[in-house]
Amino acid sequence: MFYRQAGVHHSNYKTDSALFPIPFDKWSIYTMLALGIFAPAIFGSFALTSYLLPWMIWAGAALSLNLLIGWAGQFHFGYAAVMSIGGYTAIHATLAGIPFEIALILAGLMSMVVGVIFGAAAMRVKGLYLALATLAMQFVVDWVLTHVPAIGGGASATLQAPDMTLLGFKITSEVGYYYVAFGWLLLVTLFLLNMRRTGFGRALVAVREKDYAASILGVNSFYFKSVAFAVSSFMGGVSGAILVFCFYHAVTPEQFTVNVSIQLLAMVIVGGLGSIIGSYFGAAFILLLPGALNTLVAYVSELLGLQIGIETLAHLPNLFYGILIIGFLLYEPLGLAKVYDNIRKYLMVWPFGYSKR
Amino acid sequence: MGFDWIFAGELAINGALSGLMYSLIGLGIVLIYKSSAVPNLAQGALAMLGAYIVLAFFDGAGIPMWAAIPLGMVVMFGVGTGIERFTLRRMAGQPIVMILMLTLGLDIFFHAVTLTLWGGTNRSLSYGIPDDAVEVAGMLIDFTYLAGGIIALILVAFFTYFFKTRKGIVLRAISDDPVASWSVGISVENGVGLSWAMSAVVAAVTGVVFGAIQGVDYTLALLLLKGIAVAVLGGLDSVLGAVVAGVLLGVLEGMASGFLDPLVGGGSKDLVVAGAIILTIIVRPHGLFGREDIERV
């Protein structure tokens, strides 16, 4: 239907190896891009700041984590800690009078350093033990944030984000914040789209599939694991800084607890490991669905005249959240990306479903 | 100021006792890992669920405590079997990150179920141990900690014995090589199901023991991190390791909270726990008593 192959004939190599063999793919991406650019004009202020903006920032963070888990196959159960380093570094740097652009890069570099320390565990172990080590490091970072006043500003303190000036523009409006997040997401997406096809990306996939085998083929698996941790942490740190500056406007340790790490992991896994569009879907799904379900439950209970306590209502979204994660792992382990792919493949030959590609 | 030996001794003994209790939650993780190589990150939530179920029998149904605890254990046996039957069994052959995420999903799910059903306010639970302390050579020892430590020791002794019985040997065979045990007629599914059920029962006991000390609320689920630390330090497949590591961690934690907390402003317990996990994994990933895995390409 939409993804038509009919009428798409390749008569030379140039069109056959084009970026988008299916015209609909090209047009859908142009449409999404246009929607992203003109979103402030289309959507209201509420939808922009409470749905689109967090979605874009978290999608960027999920993509950064996906680079590590989905492509390099290295588990990271403490990604929120890496993001928190970025957030805190950016705040401290801008408070010290460093321009925001440089503060962002500093945030990335600082997260990179910490992230490589996280990755040092990958030198020794992998799989389960790496997951547990990174989980433990999350708690160490949490502890440092709450107990070192020079970083966290004292016990459970909140550091306000100063005004940000990006490339000479003072950014104070909601629209401005939105474009910063949108620009960053665009950069991350473009980077990942291209990384997949470079030697670096291929090496990461080789390491993911079997690190010993990759070493035998001449891919220095330790080097690529470290680089994957470094690159992913850099991106995670900048995402954290943007999250703090554009969305929260302040930073506290509670924004980056272990639950946030698990949430990010859920975004990546529910979205689909190693899938870019999957991370978009996953971020939207995990961010928006619990709230939507909560509204639904409140509506249904009102409709049926049920008396549901405030406390029950408060915990129901978490209940659905758990069920969703379990359900996805059981019934569609490849995630939303696979669901999308199934729909796409079905529509590609619609209505001639019997002519399997 | 001289070194306060009495204070240190008190910290060490109470630390060791609470460490024995930590080994309960580590034991739950070890039991499952031993038979199916699945690290159960839902153990904390299971402990919380167990405590709430016991309380539901006691408070809700008015059953006396001595009957409510066994009833809670029976229910948890069912819960454990159910988890294995309906979720973990279908995940066989999936990559480990999926299984870890599944147990995290279970953790979130049981956490939310418990709070949805029973609410989040802290409730007290007592299984007949006076909330009192005994003085031994100038050191104060809490009865609840003592009882918890003894219960932990009994359970560990039971499981050490259990792994020598016929059923236990079956479980050890499964942990050694699931496919080979299958081929000699062992029902791997039932074995793994049994280990989940036993682990859930242990979780119920953990919940009751800790509930008697800190009350029953969502903080019981936070015991997970200590359980992981104990299990990793002792070796993920070693029952004995869980006890030794539990005591070790408890003493370290007690010392840290006694001597480090005044210096760094509190919370050094968490740091000790996280540090134990990281150091073990970097220095000796298979733990003190665990079996070292050799990877074949």
- B281 to chain A, closest Cα gap in Å: 7
Q: Does B230 touch chain A (CB under 8 A)?
A: no
Beta bridge partners of A74: none
Amino acid of residue A206? A
Reported as a pLDDT band with limits 50, 70 and 90, residue B197 is very high
A278-304: average pLDDT: 83
Residues whose CB falls within 8 Å of the CB of residue A299, separated by 6 or more in sequence, listed in order: none
Cβ pair A212:B295 closer than 8 A = yes
Chain B positions in Cβ-Cβ contact with residue A321 (cut-off 8 Å):
108, 112
Q: Is the pLDDT reported for residue B200 higher than 90?
A: yes
Nearest CA in chain A to B86: A330
Cβ pair B91:A125 closer than 8 A = no
Ranking A88-92, A170-174, A236-240, B166-170 by mean pLDDT, the lowest is A170-174
Chain B positions in Cβ-Cβ contact with residue A330 (cut-off 8 Å):
87, 90-91, 102
CA neighbor of A87 nearest in space, from A229, A252, A231: A252
Q: Does B111 touch chain A (CB under 8 A)?
A: yes
Buried b (16+ CB within 10 A) or exposed e, A212-250: eebbeeebebeebbbbbbbbbbbbbbbbbbbbbbbbeee
ipTM of the shown complex: 0.84
- A271 to chain B, closest Cα gap in Å: 13
Ranking A262-266, A302-306, B102-106, B203-207 by mean pLDDT, the lowest is A302-306
Q: Does B167 touch chain A (CB under 8 A)?
A: no
Q: Does B190 touch chain A (CB under 8 A)?
A: no
* Average pLDDT value for chain B: 84
Calculate ∠ Cα A183-A279-A144, nearest 5°: 80
Name the H helices within chain B. 5-36, 43-55, 65-86, 96-118, 143-162, 166-176, 178-183, 188-214, 223-234, 239-255, 261-264, 268-283
Q: How many CB atoms lie within 10 A of CB B114?
A: 27
Residue ranges of the domains in chain A? Answer: 39-348
Beta bridge partners of A166: A169
Calculate ∠ Cα B224-B230-B234, nearest 5°: 150
Q: Is the pLDDT reported for residue B134 higher than 80?
A: no
Confidence at residue B265, expressed as pLDDT on a 0 to 100 scale: 66
Reported as a pLDDT band with limits 50, 70 and 90, residue B196 is very high
Pair of tokens at residue A115: 């992230």
Buried b (16+ CB within 10 A) or exposed e, A100-127: beebbbbbbbbbbebbbebbebbeebbb
Ranking A230-239, A303-312, B165-174 by mean pLDDT, the lowest is A303-312
| pLDDT above 90 as % of chain B | 14
pLDDT in tens, A17-76: 777 777 777 888 888 888 888 878 788 777 777 788 889 999 999 999 999 988 888 888
- Decide if A162 contacts A168 (C-beta within 8 A): no
* Max CA distance (Å), chain A: 68
Cβ pair A318:B270 closer than 8 A = no
Ramachandran sector of residue B129 (left: φ over 0; alpha: ψ -120 to 50; beta: rest): beta
- B151 to chain A, closest Cα gap in Å: 28
Confidence at residue B131, expressed as pLDDT on a 0 to 100 scale: 66
Cβ pair A155:B265 closer than 8 A = yes
Q: How many CB atoms lie within 10 A of CB B214?
A: 14
- Interface size between A and B, measured as CB pairs under 8 A: 139
pLDDT in tens, B256-276: 887 777 776 667 778 888 888
- B64 to chain A, closest Cα gap in Å: 27
Buried b (16+ CB within 10 A) or exposed e, A177-204: bbbbbbebbeebbeebeebbeeebbebb
Interface test with A, best of B30, B86, B278 (most A CBs within 10 A): B278
Helix orientation angle between A221-242 and A79-95, rounded to the nearest 10 degrees: 50
CA distance A112 to A237: 7
Interface test with B, best of A326, A332, A334 (most B CBs within 10 A): A326
Cβ pair A326:B87 closer than 8 A = yes
pLDDT in tens, B243-259: 899 999 988 888 888 77
Beta bridge partners of B213: none
Reported as a pLDDT band with limits 50, 70 and 90, residue A156 is low
| pLDDT above 70 as % of chain B | 92
Confidence at residue A22, expressed as pLDDT on a 0 to 100 scale: 76
pLDDT in tens, A200-227: 889 999 988 888 888 888 888 888 888 9
Sign of the alpha-carbon torsion through B197, B199, B205, B206: negative
CA neighbor of B18 nearest in space, from B207, B186, B168, B213: B213
Residue ranges of the domains in chain B? Answer: 13-222
Q: Does B127 touch chain A (CB under 8 A)?
A: no
Interface test with B, best of A71, A77, A139 (most B CBs within 10 A): A139
CA neighbor of A86 nearest in space, from A59, A64, A56: A64
CA neighbor of B81 nearest in space, from B166, B198, B181, B186: B198
Confidence at residue B297, expressed as pLDDT on a 0 to 100 scale: 53
Please tell me the CATH code under which domain A39-348 is placed.
1.10.3470
Confidence at residue A109, expressed as pLDDT on a 0 to 100 scale: 92
Ranking A40-54, A145-159, A286-300, B196-210 by mean pLDDT, the lowest is A145-159
Q: Is the pLDDT reported for residue A16 higher than 90?
A: no
- B130 to chain A, closest Cα gap in Å: 32
Confidence at residue A355, expressed as pLDDT on a 0 to 100 scale: 64
Cβ pair A132:B228 closer than 8 A = yes
Q: Does B277 touch chain A (CB under 8 A)?
A: yes
* Max CA distance (Å), chain B: 67
